Structure 1
Amino acid sequence: MPPVHAALPSLAPLLPELILGIGVMVLILYGAWRGERSAETVSVGALVLLLVALFAVLSQPATGRVTTLSGAFVSDAFSKVMKSLVLLGSSAAIVLAHDYFKREKIDRFEFPVLIVLCTIGMMVMVSANDLIALYLGLELQSLAAYVIAAFHRDDVRSTEAGLKYFVLGALSSGMLLYGSSLIYGFTGTVSFPGIVSALNDQAGAGIVLGIVFVAAGVCFKMSAVPFHMWTPDVYEGSPTPVTAFFAAAPKMAAVSMTVRVFIGALPDVTAVWQQIFVFVSIVSMALGSFAAIGQRSIKRLMAYSSIANIGYALIGLASGSQEGIEGLVLYMIIYLAMTLGTFAIILSLRRRDVMFESIDDLSGLSRTHPWLAFCLAAMMFSLAGIPPLAGFFAKYYVFAAAIKAGLVTLAVIGVVTSVVGAYYYLRIVKIMYFDEPKERYEAMAPGLRVVLALSSIVVILFVVVPHPLRAAAANAAKSLF
Structure 2
Amino acid sequence: MNALPFAVAHALPEIILAVGALLLILIGAFRGRDSDGPMTELAVGLIGLAILAILLSTRTGTAVVFDGAFVDDPFGRFMKILTLLGALISLFMGQDYMARAKIDKFEFPILIILSTLGALMLISATGLIALYLGLELMSLALYVIAAFHRDNVKASEAGLKYFVLGALSSGMLLYGASLLYGFAGTVSFAGIADAVGGKASLGVIFGLVFLMAGLAFKMSTAPFHMWTPDVYEGAPTPVTAFFASAPKMAAIAVTIRVVITAFPGITTQWQQIITFISLLSMAIGSFAAIGQTNIKRLMAYSSIGHMGFALVGLAAGTPTGVQGVLCYMGIYLIMTLGTFAAILSMRVKGESVEQISDLSGLARTNGPMAFFLALMMFSLAGIPPLAGFFAKWYVFNSAIQAGLYPLAVIGVLLSTVAAYYYLRIVKIMYFDDPVVTFDRAAPSLRIVLAACGILVLFLFAYPAAFVEAAAAAAKSLF
Pairwise same-fold verdict (TM > 0.5) = yes
Partner of 2:408: 411
Verify: 1:85 aligned to 2:82, yes or no.
yes
Structure 1 SS opposite 2:64: strand
Residue from 214, 218, 222 that aligns with 1:217: 214
User: Aligned partners of 1:456 and 1:276: how far apart in 2?
Assistant: 35
Verify: 1:396 aligned to 2:393, yes or no.
yes
Residue from 249, 254, 275 that aligns with 2:246: 249
Partner of 1:64: 61
Partner AA of 1:354 in structure 2: E
What is the 5 A alignment of 1:424-435?
A: 424-435=421-432
Structure 1 SS opposite 2:149: coil
Q: Offset of 1:6 from its aligned partner?
A: 4.8
Partner of 2:227: 230
Residue from 118, 121, 131 that aligns with 2:118: 121
Partner of 1:42: 39
Write the deviation string for residues 263-317 of structure 1: whole angstroms up to 9, x where unpaired. Answer: 1111111111100110110010001000000000000000000000000000011
Partner of 1:13: 10
Partner AA of 1:140 in structure 2: L
User: Aligned partners of 1:150 and 1:144: how far apart in 2?
Assistant: 10
Write the deviation string for residues 391-435 of structure 1: whole angstroms up to 9, x where unpaired. Answer: 000000100000111100000000000100000000000000000
Q: Offset of 1:456 from its aligned partner?
A: 1.5
Partner of 1:445: 442
Q: Is the 8 A contact 1:83 1:126 kept in 2?
A: yes
Partner of 1:161: 158
Partner AA of 1:27 in structure 2: L
Q: Is the 8 A contact 2:84 2:246 kept in 1?
A: yes
Task: Calculate the TM-score normalised by the size of structure 1.
Answer: 0.98
Structure 2 SS opposite 1:227: coil
Q: Is the 8 A contact 1:63 1:479 kept in 2?
A: no
Q: Which moved more, 1:28-37 or 1:335-344?
A: 28-37
Residue from 362, 376, 382 that aligns with 1:385: 382
User: Aligned partners of 1:37 and 1:132: how far apart in 2?
Assistant: 37
Structure 2 SS opposite 1:60: coil
Q: Is the 8 A contact 1:60 1:80 kept in 2?
A: no
Write the deviation string for residues 238-272 of structure 1: whole angstroms up to 9, x where unpaired. Answer: 00110111011110000001011111111111111
Verify: 1:308 aligned to 2:305, yes or no.
yes
Q: Is the 8 A contact 1:222 1:255 kept in 2?
A: yes
User: Aligned partners of 1:452 and 1:469: how far apart in 2?
Assistant: 20
Structure 2 SS opposite 1:443: coil
What is the 5 A alignment of 1:75-154?
A: 75-154=72-151
Partner AA of 2:219 in structure 1: M
Q: Offset of 1:457 from its aligned partner?
A: 2.3
Write the deviation string for residues 332-353 of structure 1: whole angstroms up to 9, x where unpaired. Answer: 0000000000000000011111
Residue from 26, 51, 55 that aligns with 2:52: 55
Q: Is the 8 A contact 2:358 2:436 kept in 1?
A: no
Q: Is the 8 A contact 1:30 1:38 kept in 2?
A: no
Verify: 1:466 aligned to 2:463, yes or no.
yes
Q: Offset of 1:96 from its aligned partner?
A: 1.4
Write the deviation string for residues 421-454 of structure 1: whole angstroms up to 9, x where unpaired. Answer: 0000000000000000133211111111222122
Residue from 302, 326, 329 that aligns with 1:329: 326
Q: Offset of 1:37 from its aligned partner?
A: 5.5
What is the 5 A alignment of 1:260-339?
A: 260-339=257-336
Partner AA of 1:97 in structure 2: G
Write the deviation string for residues 145-179 of structure 1: whole angstroms up to 9, x where unpaired. Answer: 00000000000000000000000000000000110
Partner AA of 1:312 in structure 2: F
CA distance 1:6–1:382, change in 2 (3 Å) = closer
Q: Is the 8 A contact 2:321 2:399 kept in 1?
A: yes
User: Aligned partners of 1:403 and 1:379: how far apart in 2?
Assistant: 27
Structure 2 SS opposite 1:113: helix
Q: Is the 8 A contact 1:31 1:38 kept in 2?
A: no
Partner of 2:369: 372
User: Aligned partners of 1:287 and 1:461: how far apart in 2?
Assistant: 30
User: Aligned partners of 1:162 and 1:38: how far apart in 2?
Assistant: 22
Partner of 1:23: 20
Q: Offset of 1:10 from its aligned partner?
A: 2.4
User: Aligned partners of 1:79 and 1:38: how far apart in 2?
Assistant: 35
User: Aligned partners of 2:33 and 2:368: how far apart in 1?
Assistant: 36
Q: Which moved more, 1:341-350 or 1:440-449?
A: 440-449
Q: Offset of 1:126 from its aligned partner?
A: 0.5
Write the deviation string for residues 49-87 of structure 1: whole angstroms up to 9, x where unpaired. Answer: 000001011123463101101111001111111000110
Partner AA of 1:371 in structure 2: P
Q: Is the 8 A contact 1:126 1:257 kept in 2?
A: yes
Q: Which moved more, 1:199-208 or 1:120-129?
A: 199-208
Q: Is the 8 A contact 2:320 2:474 kept in 1?
A: yes
Partner AA of 1:176 in structure 2: L
Partner AA of 2:71 in structure 1: V
Task: Calculate the TM-score normalised by the size of structure 2.
Answer: 0.99
Partner of 2:475: 478
Q: Which moved more, 1:373-382 or 1:31-40?
A: 31-40
User: Aligned partners of 2:353 and 2:304: how far apart in 1?
Assistant: 23
User: Aligned partners of 1:449 and 1:185: how far apart in 2?
Assistant: 53
Structure 1 vs Structure 2: percent identity of aligned residues?
Answer: 60
User: Aligned partners of 1:444 and 1:452: how far apart in 2?
Assistant: 10
Partner of 1:177: 174
CA distance 1:18–1:367, change in 2 (3 Å) = same
Partner AA of 1:165 in structure 2: Y
Verify: 1:360 aligned to 2:366, yes or no.
no
Q: Is the 8 A contact 2:34 2:104 kept in 1?
A: no
